Copies of this chain bind each other. A is one copy, B any other.
Amino acid sequence: MEKITVRTGKRQEFFDVTDSVNGVVKKSGVNSGVCHMYVPHTTCGLTINENADPSVKADIISVLEKLVPEDGRYAHSEGNSDAHVKSSMTGHFLCVLVEGGTLQLGTWQGIYLCEFDGPRTRQIWIKVMKQ
């Protein structure tokens, strides 16, 4: 499997990894198949959403913060309980189809690492399965 390393810059941030993942797909030589992405962390996630207007990312972060506030009451005492919950709400993995040696994304779609407890150095593990 291949690994991408990302350095996030804020506590909460959606980091665009579309081009990096597509680079791994191209390098794999797989023409038709499925690209699996996975974060080996428990306080960040992965999601797909709009790649044009950055305010969409801000809205998702803002809604999740309203629903699962950083300063809420939690049993876990490390101060990042909200980040654990948020990561289980977005999920830790993605599957995107591959055709013609490239990720098949919709026109307005980008792939984001969802940082909920940064800034940190994060990894995305990738495997491209051949059909």
Contact = CB atoms under 8 A, between A and B. Distances in A.
A56 B36 contact: no
A60 B86 CA distance: 9
Identical copies of this chain, number: 3
Contacts of A87: 49
A33 B93 CA distance: 15
A99 interface: yes
A50 B105 CA distance: 28
Nearest to A64: B85
A90 B89 CA distance: 6
Contacts of A17: none
A-B CB proximity, top 5 nearest: A40-B106, A55-B75, A55-B76, A47-B88, A42-B50
